[in-house]
Every structure is written in structure tokens, then in C-alpha cells.
Amino acid sequence: MSGRLYAISTGPGASDLITVRAARILGKLDCLYAPAGRKGADSLALSIVRPWLSETTEVHTCHFPMSADNDAKAAVWDEVAGTLAREAQAGKQVGFITLGDAMLFSTWVWLLARLGRPDWLEIVPGVTSVLAIASAAALPLAMDQQSLAIVACNASEQHLRDTLERHDCVVMMKVYGRFPAIKALLQSCGVIDHAVMMAEATLPGERCWRDLSAVPDDEPLPYFSTILVNKQWDIRSESWNNS
Amino acid sequence: MSGRLYAISTGPGASDLITVRAARILGKLDCLYAPAGRKGADSLALSIVRPWLSETTEVHTCHFPMSADNDAKAAVWDEVAGTLAREAQAGKQVGFITLGDAMLFSTWVWLLARLGRPDWLEIVPGVTSVLAIASAAALPLAMDQQSLAIVACNASEQHLRDTLERHDCVVMMKVYGRFPAIKALLQSCGVIDHAVMMAEATLPGERCWRDLSAVPDDEPLPYFSTILVNKQWDIRSESWNNS
């Protein structure tokens, strides 16, 4: 068997929301590389895949610094990409795991930019937290002719406002630490009755807020909190508003 | 065991890109309802889940008309929603499958709007084609501070142009029948070297076009063709462009 590198998406949190393909690959790995260091996310990725790993798989963690020093970060990415390539080219079955989906807001893409698209690389897609939240909250992410935008709440207020005005559906990530400003923005854009907030979707600590007007500004929020807006869905009546 | 209705996302096409949770649920269903009638998509959803179904599961197809007659469509949705609710309330394990993810551009949400959020309903998220395409094309969907928009190519040219100008990353669905206009738009917005097109991702007929400038206007495209744009990814060198 020739060596291969698999970038494996773990899905949003629950171990059984990984794909069958990912679970099968995890069971035949010689070694697994798991990122470590980002707040909560990384130990979560490893805990998701534990039930699927073979007992003989060597698990390595790689620490990606959060520092603002781009050279320091680039040096670590170079080193990890080099290690993954060497292991695969030496004939091993190598995995690298990423929370959610590997191609959406994931550290993996910095490694991809260094590896290119060699024959021995396979990227396995997964369920992003955004999709898991929509299912758990029973709020359609987008339908029919609707347009959808995904933004992080650390974008400028002007960009967030433009996005809320121009799109029917908006996913607002990274709410943590910014809830009062985001709540005020949703009110000012007239969409707060079409928004839900969810934290830790599919995990034991999952929480959903369906009436954001009633959530106090100082509500303690978990790190993984996301807001979904669908202007044509009425949260209270759980129904589609075509007008 | 009390009755339950599961809205099950099948993922993009390959049977092993379904989640472990969905595969397990499919194996214990009393009956499965599968939409039928939309071009290609529905028979595909059923073929994805076949390997996971128990031999004793009754399979029913429900035909959703594509007509412009909204009353006719509403009558069918009312009827199917009523059937699903009756089966679950009669104590059965009932499944309804949707291609990709149930909450993103899926017929399922019209049924959800009729069912509400009863205790006996569970929605199982899945890998959307958008994520599968990003993995198969090795093109990051969005990263870091980038903003992402998903639009259908049957939107107005002005909306498509605005979206391409305002977002770093854009997914353009429903390219079929509109390729020459979309290609001209990508050229006029200066982003054609940051775009890939993919058809039938994860299926045997998967195809990827990485140099859209060279694709003739009359290229015969499969029905499921999607374009991804990431302005900071250079398709030719497979690398991130931070400038």
C-alpha cells in the first residue's frame, strides 16, 4: 500500500456526525496529527475521532501558535507540512484532523498552500457547525432563491450591516465577546425576530436562544456561539413568510 | 419505541459521505419517503442511501411537481407533511431523505414549515455539495477573515456582480444553461483566475475545470455544475496570495 495523507474533517462535535468515509480512514491510520493550542477547538477534534481510531495509531499533536508574529506561524506551518509530506512519502497512512470541515475556516488550508495537490493527498469533507446549527435549531439556512452570506462578527460594523441588508440569510460566527453590539445591529436592521443563536451544537452543552431581544447584554456565552438569520422565516410561528 | 420522523441529509453523492448517524438511522427505519421528480437529484438521493437501508424498510417515493402553480405545490406539501406526521405518531420509525444537507436549498424545509418542531422530529445534518466541491478541488471555501456568499446563477446580474465585488469568496450554484454569461461576469470582475468549476462532485462522473478562461461558451455541462471563487487563492500556483 503506498503512503497517503488524509485531511479529515471531524464534523461539528458529536462523534457520529463524522462521515462513514472519515470513520473508515481513521481506523486504518499509522499516525494521526491533531492540531493543539486553539481555545477548546482542538482537544474537541481529537475527542470526536477517538472512538474511530485503531489502537495501533500513533497520535501526535502539533501546536500552532496564536501569536501575531507571521514569520513564527509560517515556520510552524512549514515544519508541519514537511512532516506530513515526509510521513506519506515514506509509505505511511497519515491523517490530519480539523474540526468542522477542512476547507471552511480551518488551519488546514495553510498546510494545503504548502503541500499543493500531490497524488497522495485526499481531503475528506465534513459537516460544518453552520449546518449542524441549522438542523438543531430547525431554522432553514437558505432555500429557493435566497442568498446566503457567512461572516465573522469581528468584521467592521459597516460590512456586517451591508451583509445583513443585502442577503436574505446570514450566518454570524464568532459572536463571543461581541453580543451587545451584534444584538443592537440585528435590532437596527429589523431582523432580530428572524434570528436564533446557538452554542455548542450537537454537544452535551448545546444551547439555543430563540428570542434574542430577551437575552441580556451580559449573558455569559460559550466560545462557540453562532447566530443564524433567515429574513423569511418567522422564529415564533416556525413558518415561512413569503410576503 | 415511540415513533420518530428523521429528516436525513444524504450528503453530496458518494454513499460513504453520509454521516455515521444517518447510516445507523437508515438501518432501523420502518419506512422511508424519498422525493421524486426533480431532474436527477432525487433518484441520486435514493441511490446514496440504498446500501444503508434494512431489507424490511418500505420505500415510498413522493412526487413534488415543479410547476409554477403554487397552490398545487402547497397541496402536495400539505399531503406529504400529513403522511409523515401520521406515520411517526402511529409509532413508526420514519425517514425522509434530502440530497446534500436538509437545511440548505432543500425541499424538506417546505415540510418543516408545516410540521413545526414536535418532539418526535429529528433533523440529521449532512455534507453539502459545496463542501464536497471545495475538498475535491482543493480550493479553500473561506479562511481567516474572509467572507463567503452563496448565490444561485439565476439571480440578477446586478446581484451577482455586487456579491462578487463585496465578498472574498463566492459559491455560484445552478451554472447550467448560464455559463457564457457567468464566464463573462467573472472576467469583467477580474476574478476568473481565482475560480474553479466542478460537476458531479464525489460521483463517478466528477469533472473539474481549473482554467475557466479556456472553457468554450458551448461546453456541454452536467446539470450539477457549481463555480467556486476565492479571490486570495491563486488556482495556477495552488497558493495563497496575501497581497
Cα dist from B153 to A25, B150, B206, whole Å: 36, 10, 20
Interface of A with B in 33-72 (CB under 8 A): none
Which of residues A127, A155, A190 is at a domain's end?
A127
- Count of structural domains within chain B: 2
The shortest CB-CB distance from A16 to any of B19, B102, B127 is to B19
User: A8 with A110, same domain?
Assistant: yes
Is the CB of B145 less than 8 angstroms away from the CB of A125? no
d(CA B123, CA B102): 8
Distance from CA of B16 to the nearest CA of A (A): 5
Do B80 and B110 belong together in one domain? yes
In terms of pLDDT, which residue wins out, B50 or A72?
Answer: B50
Same-domain check for residues B117 and B150:
no
Interface test with A, best of B6, B20, B52, B110 (most A CBs within 10 A): B20
**A148 and B150 in contact by Cβ < 8 A?**
yes
Q: Is the dihedral of CA A213, A188, B148, B213 positive or negative?
A: positive
Judge if A117 and A135 occupy the same domain. no
Residues of A within 8 A of B127 (CB-CB) are 19, 101, 125-127
Asked whether residue B165 falls in the same domain as residue B117, the answer is: no
Q: Is there a single domain that holds both residue B181 and residue B93?
A: no
Query: With a CB-CB cutoff of 8 Å, which residues 161-200 of chain B face chain A?
Result: 162-163, 166-167
B21/A223: higher pLDDT: B21
Mean pLDDT of the region A77-90: 97
**CA B86, CA A77: separation in Å to the nearest integer?**
55
Residue A109: which of B102, B140, B151 has the nearest Cβ? Answer: B140
B158 touching chain A per CB within 8 A: no
Residues A143, A87, single domain; the answer is: no
| Residue that is last in its domain, among A127, A155, A175 | A127
Residues A184 and A142 in one domain: yes
A138 in the same domain as A72: no
Write the burial class of residue A123 (CB in 10 Å: 0-12 exposed, 13-18 middle, 19+ buried). Answer: buried
Interface test mutation site (partner B, options A9, A98, A119, A127, max chain B beta carbons within 10 A): A127
Does residue B145 share a domain with residue B116? no
Q: Are β-strands B93-98 and B233-234 bridged in parallel, bridged antiparallel, or unpaired?
A: unpaired
CATH number of the domain enclosing B62: 3.40.1010.10
Residues of B in contact with A19 (CB under 8 A): 11, 16-20, 127
Across the range A125-141, mean pLDDT stands at 97
A140-162 mean pLDDT: 92
- Indicate whether A103 and A165 sit together in one domain: no
Last residue of a domain, one of B127, B145, B176: B127
C-alpha–C-alpha distance, residues B133 and B146, integer Å: 18
| Per-residue pLDDT tens over the stretch A20-71 | 999 999 999 999 999 886 555 668 899 999 999 999 999 999 888 777 788 8
Decide if the complex's ipTM is over 0.85.
yes
Residue A136 is classified by DSSP as H
| Across A94-116, average pLDDT | 95
Model confidence pLDDT, tens digit, residues B97-139? 999 999 999 989 999 999 999 999 999 999 999 999 999 999 9
Task: Give the residue from chain B lying closest to A163, CA to CA.
Answer: B166
Kindly report, residue by residue over B192-230, the tens digit of the pLDDT: 999 999 999 999 999 999 999 999 999 999 888 999 999
Strands A31-36 and A93-98: parallel
CB–CB contact B240 A109 (8 Å): yes
Q: Which of A104, A132, A240 shows the shortest C-beta gap to B131?
A: A104
Kindly indicate the confidence band of residue B41, based on its pLDDT and cuts at 50, 70 and 90.
Answer: low
Give the range of the structural domain holding residue B54, as residue numbers without chain letter: 4-127
Chain A touched by B230 (CB under 8 Å) = no
| Binary contact (B101, A141; C-beta < 8 A) | yes
